[in-house]
């Protein structure tokens, strides 16, 4: 994967202005609440249109404000796992998983797509396929949302605060499944969080954000040794 972006957006408390270039693997986006992390993901996914911006994924231009290009979300080949999971309550887990496959088939050959059976096995969901979201645990809902994103044949997966408001056991489960994905599925991910220890278990590459501005990009350990940086980011 090669993801290049330059994004600007007027916001209520600050002007969002950030750029980056991400490669394969998992990239962490780290910063305090309200820093603009979710806004970054929404602009990459096409859910929010930047005031000025440029996004290119694997050589495809998704946003170019100067040329008037703005590819809609469903055509970006980007899977988004929201904090709220946003599963369809009237559908079973299986129906939620397969919802986006019809769109994926229009742009991706069948032999390039991950199969339903592989996702179900990878995310340990066989026992709940016929259940509705309200009848399954929070961890199973999280894995269903992740599986739905995988089955959309994404070139990139965005995860917004996957560790937010979960207990230690569920947090460990989420980390386990994300690690499995990293090892078995060659799809780059961007994971947003303000929990640095969890991010360190997944990746060593981090984009630091505060008030809509980049505070740095590189190896986590390189920033840990810079006096005062992480306390300032967390503030």
- Calpha distance 17→210 (Å, rounded): 11
Residue 235's pLDDT is: 46
Q: Domain holding 24: CATH number?
A: 3.40.50.300
Chain centroid to CA 100: how far?
16
The mean pLDDT values, 10 residues at a time, for the chain of 235 residues are 90 88 89 89 95 95 96 91 87 93 71 82 92 91 89 90 72 80 84 84 88 89 68 55
Read off the pTM.
Answer: 0.86
Of 165, 174, 167, give the one whose Cα is nearest residue 145: 174
Q: Are 113 and 153 in contact (CB under 8 A)?
A: yes
Token reading at 219: 């190896």
Residue 3's pLDDT is: 93
Residue 78's pLDDT is: 93
For residue 164, the enclosing domain spans: 3-234
Total domains in the fold of the chain: 1
Query: Which strand (E) or helix (H) includes residue 62?
Result: strand 60-64
Hey, how many other C-beta atoms are within 10 angstroms of the C-beta on 58? 12
SS3 state at 217: strand
Token reading at 111: 């032999």
Q: What are phi and psi of 120, to 5 degrees?
A: -60, -40
């Amino acid at each position: 994967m090669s993801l290049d972006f330059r994004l600007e957006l007027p916001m209520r408390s600050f002007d969002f202005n950030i750029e980056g270039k991400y490669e394969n693997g998992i990239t962490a986006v780290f910063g305090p609440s309200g820093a603009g992390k979710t806004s970054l993901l929404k602009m990459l996914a096409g859910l929010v249109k930047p005031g000025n911006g440029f996004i290119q994924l694997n050589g495809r231009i998704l946003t170019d404000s100067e040329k008037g290009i703005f590819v809609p979300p469903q055509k970006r080949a980007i899977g988004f796992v929201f904090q709220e999971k946003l599963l369809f309550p009237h559908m079973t887990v299986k129906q939620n998983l397969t919802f986006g496959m019809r769109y994926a088939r229009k742009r991706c050959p069948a032999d390039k797509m991950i199969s339903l059976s592989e996702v179900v096995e990878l995310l340990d969901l066989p026992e709940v396929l016929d259940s509705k979201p309200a009848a399954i645990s929070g961890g199973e809902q999280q894995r269903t949302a992740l599986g739905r994103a995988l089955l959309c044949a994404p070139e990139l997966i965005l995860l917004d605060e996957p560790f937010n408001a979960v207990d230690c056991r569920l947090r460990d489960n989420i980390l386990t499944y994300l690690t499995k994905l990293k090892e078995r599925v060659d799809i780059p991910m961007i994971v947003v969080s303000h929990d640095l220890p969890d991010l360190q278990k997944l990746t060593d590459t981090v984009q630091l954000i505060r008030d809509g501005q980049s505070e740095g990009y590189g190896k986590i350990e390189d920033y840990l040794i810079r006096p005062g940086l992480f306390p300032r980011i967390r503030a």
